[in-house]
Structure 1
Amino acid sequence: MKARDLTILIGIIGIVLMMVVPIPVGLLDVLLVINISAALMILLISMNTQDALQFSIFPALLLITTLFRLALNVSTTRNILQKAEAGEVVETFGKWVAGGQIAIGFVVFLILVVVQFIVITKGSERVAEVGARFTLDAMPGKQMSIDADLNAGLINEQQARDRRQKIEREADFYGSMDGASKFVKGDAIASIIILIINLLGGFVIGMTVHGLSFGESIERFSVLTIGDGLVSQIPALLISTAAGLIVTRASSEGNLAFDVTSQVLRYPKLLYIVAGTIALLGIGTPIGPIATLPFAGVLVFAGYRMQKTLTAQQQEEDLLVEEQQIEEVRSPESVISLLQVDPIEFEFGYGLIPLADTQQGGDLLDRIIMIRRQCALELGLVVPVIRIRDNIQLKPNEYVIKIKGNIVARGELLLNHYLAMSPGFDNDSIIGIETVEPAFGLPAIWIDEATKERAELTGYTVVDPPSVVATHLTEIVKRHAHELIGRQETKALVENVKETYPTLVEELIPSILTVGDIQKVLSKLLREKISIRDMVTIFETLADHGTYTKDPDILTEYVRQSLSRQITQQFSQTGDTLRVITVGPSVEKKIAESVQSSEQGSYLALDPIATQTIHQKLNEQVNKQIQSGYQPVVLASPTIRMYLRQIVERTMQDIPVLSYSELEPSVEVQSIGVVNL
């Protein structure tokens, strides 16, 4: 056993022996000074710790110091009652605090007892209890967070082990503090009882044993009792305060002094307000300016110095950040950041900066938020963050939309004009700059403010430039939604479903299908503008049919059939009537005979002449339906729908192709055209 360990053991045994073995008065003075020094040392350590676990021995130390303090109380009580003295320390505290007046001494002592018992001890006990409860409640969530970081590769096995050990130590620490705080409460109660024993017992023993008169006995034993109570209560108050500091401080980068100066004093302008209030208090009340103006001046000076210091620190931080950015550009690793490709980008010329500048009234950022909300409601897709930046290489009024770094659309705006689209007939009185509406490719004109009202009265559809951009961006996102959903986005959607339907997700992934398989199905649905918001129905269908086939095309057809009510409502014009272009038997037969099977799945091997003929016939029927004012919808049998879609999407991507099994029985289907070879 080391000498250090032996010293601790002997010290604890000595504390226990102090309760039964008389202690000389001289040694008792030394032990009382040691008690006060130890309490002060513990308080200072608790103020300088950055984390509670840095002083994890505190609960055990709290128990030892409480036992030591009680042993000293017993020893001083024995000397007071037996010898009518308790050493210089006790007597000095009693006379110094009392100031020659016993009543004042008792009042001061009782105040200390009230502060110790009701305020400090009670508060520390409650905080320790709440801290232990919340730490234990938070343990499962912290463990799951560590496991998630480990699975994601953010930390290694050793770091995960260290974090788990820290969580366990925190739980043990706060649990120990909850129990140790009960000893402090008991110590405060014991001090009050010992005070009464010393006072009443001393009066009686002083007159009967030591032969003192009533007045002498009251004076002598009151001083000793007050001194003994103060000698024990002051260290108890310091340690209780240390316990409160330990359990109430959160983890930080500095000690208590650093936290106070960096957090409380980080707002120097508030000192000016406080100084003004103090000055008005002195001028407008009987307190007088002599007592308040000097302090107000000190506050103003402190606020000025703090503000100057913070300004200098901010300049140093900005300079440091600038230097770091320069170093990053110079370093070879800086090229890696250029490899990052944003999912969606919106770039514009310098003439369109007011669209995005909120100080100039631009609301493009708010409109983009609404676009993301609209796409989430209509398509069930969480659109990635849209990167907005100006590009000096573009024309002043030009903008481009990029998907994964590639330009997919562009347009031009005139900010001081409005885009007017004809109702079907032109009005010679409406004059403007001819253009094309960027979202749908319709002919339009740019008109000025003076012509706007007249154009609206004539029947023109008039749109402001921000709305033109928002509409164009919305259509591009919908058209390319299937490119925006990858495995990572699919994983996020799966986790969202798992929160409410964990059994469904656990059955489907990964035993039946992988995240990649599900991503392919969702992408095919979005490619035809079918909403994937009803993820539960989609997952239920995939779980039912995924055991028989892994072909994403076939699984997509099964999902579409499960979403028949949604598809019917989406494409029916009046809700109960659907006007369609049906596929004739000759086309059905030709496509069915051209389907070939291979190890990778089925594919369409249709000769070019037949493909061209189908395109021509279908295009004629589509144009007729558009001229009649209806949305073109093609209806085919379930067996050839996906193959017909492959033919149609090459030239008519926006034309929906449905099958009979995707329609609800309640809808009335009206055929207004037939495609035959």
Structure 2
Amino acid sequence: MANVTNKFNMNNILSLSAWLQASRLQSFAGPILIMLILAMMVLPLPPFVLDVLFTFNIALAVIVLLVGLYTRHALEFAVFPTVLLITTLLRLSLNVASTRVVLLNGHTGPDAAGKVIEAFGHFLVGGNYAVGLVVFIILVVINFVVITKGAGRIAEVSARFTLDAMPGKQMAIDADLNAGLIGEADARKRRERISQEADFYGSMDGASKFVRGDAIAGILIMLITIIGGLVVGVLQHDLDLAAAARNYTLLTIGDGLVGQIPALIISTAAGLVVSRVSTDEDLGQQVVSQLFNRPQVLWLTAGILGLLGLVPGMPNFVFLLLSALIGGMAHYLSRRPVPAEPKPSEPQVAAAEAQDAGWEDVTQVDTLGLEVGYRLIPLVDKLQQGDLLRRINGIRKKFAQEIGFLPPVVHIRDNLELRPNAYRITMKGSVIGQGESYNGMYLAINPGQVTMALPGNSTQDPAFGLPAVWIETGQRELAQTSGYTVVDASTVVTTHLNHLIRSHASELLNRDALQQLLDHLARSMPKLTEDLIPKLLPLATVQKVLQHLLEEGVHIRDMRTIIDTLTEYAARTQEVTELVALVRVALGRAIVEQYYPSGTELQVMSLHPELEAVLTQVVQSAPMTEGGIEPGLAETLTREAGNAVRRMEHLGLPAVLVVSDAIRLLLARFLRRALPQLRVLAYSEIPDSRKIKFVAIVGGSRT
């Protein structure tokens, strides 16, 4: 047994050692390769080493091309700009090394610079340096004028559009995160992907200049080598002009071709990577599925080729052969079985015997419900790739994590009485929100900083009332580039639902939900709840305290502090408003951090001293009620508070009003309807460690 254990440990140690060595080699591979490439420009290389390096250069170019063909998304080959630079530098180094060998040993014969250059100079162009020169110039023109220029232009436009679309994409990620559709980790990955896309296309825009410079350098190197070879051959090796021209020109053309063919392959790979649209298919699958998948197109093509094959003087055999092959392909595609769409099952009508009415006929309304028109049914149907159910589950999970209790299940049903694209959200049988969503289209929401207007159906965002327009799928990138926040049909519904659930959180905390929350706490903290309910406070009082907190946007995640505070003060008072005030003081740090992150200064609003004195008298004469505020004072208070809130929003600050403890509840209740975005805090709720700065005065402009 000990031997087996020792052997197992030794194998683990060897495997770990091998992994560490491999990691070190990978980390040193890049610097070593760059140093070798630079060394080739200085150190002389024998012809055999040149053959190996030229062959490696061709193999590397083929590898890059094949990787580009099988890449589904551009970021799968994110290292491509760097590879483009390295391969360009490798070709230039080989040109320098081979030029040195050609000039030194070119007088000895056509194999002076190795077998690879000789093969390209004789076999590919038949030993005719005039033909080789023409072929070399054509390859350079194709690479420089067509492929490299086009790929560089695509990379430049893609980089500009990607940068312009970044704000809209970031806002879409924030919208999905706030709606609970994705988690923080997913949002971070999507932000990193957007940043990587911008970096990739920006790098490709710059890397394309390397290829263009390589083409120009190839032409200059060829001309310089030919002229230098003639000078060396005639003046130093006493060759006649014809022999020198034949030897050095063939060697130079072979050298140029062996470098330009890999350059052409690399440029083609660059064009393929930046010009393709990212899908879940590689390039071969895209071409086959989109180009050769329509029998009608192939039938017409076969007919046109067949007619051309019947014209006298044309190469009839070739045209008729291709016409037959394409016609056979069209016949195969037209005979291929098409998957039938599933037909909706017919309802089976069963005759039911007449029965007396019973308690089974009494149905309870759903706490939360979502009714959709028939055109929105695909959003719910998993068989039709609908993801609305998954997104709603994500909303409930995020709500539970941020608010502190699990909201009820959302019951979804179709309603033929609604318009086809309409939906409505109900709570306890009453409609609390409704809107329209168009499946297959996108809602472009104007956050206020767009650069252009988009054609489409103008509307408003149902959740927040922002101006928006429904656009087709093809306009999505343009809308994001123009600064719109673009969301799909499912996101429109779920964002609206999430907004309404949070707005009605206090009503969703019913007796059953509270009991489930307490049961959940009792499993980890049994004594915490036993000492409070029902010994000190009834369940209904605890429910009202929590509902008051939720009405003012205070989460109840910290149930330990809430129950501890209620347990401490329950013997002193049973008044709900007093208990709420005590709990808010205990939760002061958490309340403040909802609006001001930890460490930042609290830039808030305050009341004018005269106005605060008047409101204090109102509270003393009619405690905790709104009826004591006379109409003129109420109008002035609402107007002044609205002006202060707008000033805070203009400064990009949260609308928070800090007042004395005596009037906090009165102001919070009075201003809730007119200014729902305003939060009213008491001085006692702010921790002593936080600094306060008053930037707006409510009532400062009163006369």
Name the TM-score, length of structure 1 as normaliser.
Answer: 0.50
Rg comparison, structure with higher value:
1
Name the TM-score, length of structure 2 as normaliser.
Answer: 0.48
